[in-house]
Structure 1
């Protein structure tokens, strides 16, 4: 793919020429799961119910045995300690009960080759999520440390390209050719073996009859609503599903200056459109990003170096002693 074949268009200039309605109305609506969330603090939840139950039993026993023995001082001390511990546990539960949701959508406009009266454009949309959660709880913590220390942000940036053919005549016809995005391939939502080079082209007709683009897994790769309907387990296990629509408020042009601010170069996202519609046969065109898994590779490298290749990690307790070392490692890596 030659970068010179696609040129980024100044967004305001494009709006001046064609208006912003075409950009807004073609922004892909996203179907996302309300159960996409961070790992819950199950141990704290269990402890909360255990302590609350114990307190209720103690209060009941104190009431029934008051005629035999009752110490107001002991009763108050135990009650205060129990309530304080419960409050601490509840705060911890709320802290970890974090839902992942779409935040806003960024957009870039690119212009490709011209053929007579035809001009090819690509609208690259970047639906932004508040974060993402790796299925492995321990790996998720390390990934969060990587984001915090290296990228300086935990937002998750996804990418959907939509290709168009403009006819430069009096009627200025616009033909939507199709979509190009990382395809989730129908894999389970919490499958940690993802393929970020699973980019696939879909003709524009695929989006007909309210066939929305849907979140396919924890890494926020995409599939279609029709794919979900054939995947009964995923459809119902992660229900309810919500439609995220975009408007002038939450759809924003992405500038090169802002890319610098959010450390775009450390995210290994290729901005330049990946297909060449002027060559035809879009279905057979492919794309691979050699750095697509770079963040996970760095995380696995840290696990091997600091924790050990042979040690199985799954829960936070498996890495709690190494967390300060991992954080320092990432800090040194970013300096």
Structure 2
């Protein structure tokens, strides 16, 4: 059982000051070049039409010695080819920016006579989508989102920890941040580590050292990390700065958790850092759900295509979907 206890937001503000929720909401830098194809259904239709075309051509070749009608063959090939070209063009040109839409949060409390009282605000920045760097796998991932999650929204997590000292002013002493640290990897690298949770003291965020999206999976690094990574900084410029306000910062309710289908997402159910145990920089956290979505995606690929076939491009899926 976790040591943290969740507190309803209304109960929290009845006893404490709600301003800390807004004041410590992480400001995030996000690349404007983080995009995803919008016309996903067009791509699925393209795969089916193209698959039909290949089957029709194969059947026509098989029965060529027996019967061949150019009046039927060429119009069908021409029309389906034209439709495929239009759908492909529409899909390629339909890339839209992935945006930060809003930020939900939960509040947790820990208390013991020995260690005192601690609080954690878990922020959930909500992205409008996610695009896997492998174009072929991205199609399967979109199917996973559409069929199981019922939403294309992507959710990140950032913990902010506090120690409560009632005898001092202010009573809430900010300790630091805890999040998936994605520094050092290219933005479009398939190699990601979702168990790379790392703690940073609160002064790490001083001097406008904002959080920045580190990769397509919406892990984070610091602005100063990004400035040292010349290729990522300039290849994915411009970077937009997103700050939260009372309209975009909302308490996460059980009802909305069901809407987001949290259980099917690689989201941990409670804070991973335990500051009362000390040695914050060396604490590690592993979430058994970390790779749940990617595991399901890979299992689908293995069942449909097999282990031997490596897919990287959209054409690698032709004939399987």
Give the TM-score of the pair, scaled to structure 2.
Answer: 0.81
Task: Give the drift of 1:115.
Answer: 4.5
Equivalent residue pairs, number: 280
Task: Give the drift of 1:271.
Answer: 2.6
Q: What are the within-5 Å matches in structure 2 for residues 1-20 of structure 1?
A: 2-3=1-2, 5-20=3-18
Residue 218 of structure 2 is matched in structure 1 by 220
Task: Give the drift of 1:22.
Answer: 0.9
The answer to whether the Cα contact below 8 Å between 1:6 and 1:110 also exists between their aligned partners in 2 is: yes
Tell me how far apart the structure 2 counterparts of residues 320 and 249 of structure 1 sit (CA, whole Å).
Answer: 45
Q: Secondary structure at the match of 1:268?
A: coil
Task: Give the drift of 1:89.
Answer: 6.8
Residue 277 of structure 1 is matched in structure 2 by 275
Residue 136 of structure 2 is matched in structure 1 by 138
The answer to whether the Cα contact below 8 Å between 2:115 and 2:276 also exists between their aligned partners in 1 is: no
Residue 260 of structure 1 is matched in structure 2 by 258
Residue 23 of structure 2 is matched in structure 1 by 25
Is the counterpart of residue 318 in structure 1 residue 316 in structure 2? yes
Task: Give the drift of 1:255.
Answer: 1.2
The CA RMSD measured in Å over matched residues stands at 2.5
The answer to whether the Cα contact below 8 Å between 2:127 and 2:155 also exists between their aligned partners in 1 is: yes
Q: What are the within-5 Å matches in structure 2 for residues 143-158 of structure 1?
A: 143-158=141-156
Task: Give the drift of 1:260.
Answer: 2.2
Is the counterpart of residue 296 in structure 1 residue 294 in structure 2? yes
Q: Secondary structure at the match of 2:96?
A: coil
Residue 78 of structure 1 is matched in structure 2 by none
**Gaps spanning 5+ residues in structure 2: where?**
40-81
Tell me how far apart the structure 1 counterparts of residues 170 and 235 of structure 2 sit (CA, whole Å).
Answer: 46
The answer to whether the Cα contact below 8 Å between 1:117 and 1:169 also exists between their aligned partners in 2 is: no
Tell me how far apart the structure 2 counterparts of residues 27 and 121 of structure 1 sit (CA, whole Å).
Answer: 14
Task: Give the drift of 1:279.
Answer: 1.6
Q: What are the within-5 Å matches in structure 2 for residues 99-138 of structure 1?
A: 99-115=97-113, 118-138=116-136
Task: Give the drift of 1:114.
Answer: 4.0
CA shift in 2, pair 1:290/1:90, >3 Å: closer
Task: Give the drift of 1:244.
Answer: 0.6
1:36-69: per-residue Cα shift (whole Å, max 9, x none)?
002599xxxxxxxxxxxxxxxxxxxxxxxxxxxx
Q: Secondary structure at the match of 1:270?
A: coil
Residue 46 of structure 1 is matched in structure 2 by none
**Gaps spanning 5+ residues in structure 1: where?**
42-83, 324-335
The answer to whether the Cα contact below 8 Å between 1:132 and 1:218 also exists between their aligned partners in 2 is: yes
Task: Give the drift of 1:93.
Answer: 5.3
Tell me how far apart the structure 1 counterparts of residues 289 and 22 of structure 2 sit (CA, whole Å).
Answer: 31
Task: Give the drift of 1:169.
Answer: 3.0
The answer to whether the Cα contact below 8 Å between 1:118 and 1:168 also exists between their aligned partners in 2 is: no
* Greater Cα radius of gyration, structure 1 or 2: 1
Tell me how far apart the structure 2 counterparts of residues 120 and 136 of structure 1 sit (CA, whole Å).
Answer: 42
Task: Give the drift of 1:307.
Answer: 1.2
Residue 187 of structure 1 is matched in structure 2 by 185
The answer to whether the Cα contact below 8 Å between 2:265 and 2:289 also exists between their aligned partners in 1 is: no
Residue 234 of structure 1 is matched in structure 2 by 232
The answer to whether the Cα contact below 8 Å between 1:11 and 1:109 also exists between their aligned partners in 2 is: yes
